[in-house]
Amino acid sequence: NAGVTQTPKFQVLKTGQSMTLQCAQDMNHEYMSWYRQDPGMGLRLIHYSVGAGITDQGEVPNGYNVSRSTTEDFPLRLLSAAPSQTSVYFCASSYRSPMNTEAFFGQGTRLTVV
Amino acid sequence: DQQVKQNSPSLSVQEGRISILNCDYTNSMFDYFLWYKKYPAEGPTFLISISSIKDKNEDGRFTVFLNKSAKHLSLHIVPSQPGDSAVYFCAASAGHKLSFGAGTTVTVRA
């Protein structure tokens, strides 16, 4: 029972490099989202998707792109990494909106931009 | 501007005693509230939730209280156990967006 799988677990990037954080879930959940966790800030919503082909911005979307071509996958792209994007990133999924149903989180990706 | 605030970054409690975690919010449109628990190097896991139409929800050792007039909720853990040592996040929702507090680190002493 894999749940929500994020890859990679750790990544170091140079400023200006691009990369994609992968997220996959095997629970057939419609709703998926990306958060970043920074010290003293809690988790902040970057982007979310209510189903395949539908995405929307969260609280801190600048510098990130997403797409949702399948129900299972929801990759997060950093187009030109900046030191301010150093953070721990979590992907989450839920059967419906996580506002009133349990959201399942991946183990996180720790990203350092130097 | 954080709409969900957990003003106590840490809490230390003796095993067997009650842990009380507090959370305040500013957005009156929030209609659902959740608590998540997080261990180091793991993702958060759902703990308990409460709708804005209720003032209390209980699940085993965990009880959440909601005071809408004060825009305040709390999580009670009774009795506290060593496995409860973790970071606890309060979250609140309006529409499709979930807002989290900064978290409270709970340490349960033997």
Q: What is the tens place of the pLDDT at every residue in B61-87?
A: 999 999 999 999 999 999 999 999 999
Tell me if A103 and B93 make a contact (CB, 8 A cut-off). no
Query: Is B56 within 8 Å of B49 (Cβ atoms)?
Result: no
For residue B25, give Cα distances in angstroms to A42, B22, B31, B62. 14, 10, 11, 20
B41: left (phi over 0), alpha (psi -120 to 50) or beta: left
| Angstroms from A75 CA to nearest CA on chain B | 17
| Angstroms from B72 CA to nearest CA on chain A | 18
**pLDDT digits over A4-42, tens only?**
999 999 999 999 999 999 999 999 999 999 999 998 888
Which contiguous run of DSSP H or E holds residue B20? strand B19-25
Tell me if A90 and B43 make a contact (CB, 8 A cut-off). yes
Q: Report how far residue A36's alpha carbon sits from residue A46's, in angstroms, rounded to the nearest whole number.
A: 7
Measured between CB atoms, which of B31, B94, B102 is closest to A40? B102
**pLDDT digits over A33-78, tens only?**
999 999 888 899 999 999 999 999 999 999 999 999 999 999 999 9
| Angstroms from B2 CA to nearest CA on chain A | 8
- Substitution target from B32, B42, B57, B98 for chain A, most A beta carbons within 10 A: B98
With cut-offs at 50, 70 and 90, classify the pLDDT of residue B98: confident
How many beta carbons lie within 10 A of that of residue B95, not counting itself? 10
Cα-to-chain-centroid distance, residue A42: 15
**A106 phi/psi in degrees, rounded to 5:** -75, 180
How many beta carbons lie within 10 A of that of residue A79, not counting itself? 11
At B82 the three-state DSSP class reads: helix
Q: Report how far residue B82's alpha carbon sits from residue B106's, in angstroms, rounded to the nearest whole number.
A: 10
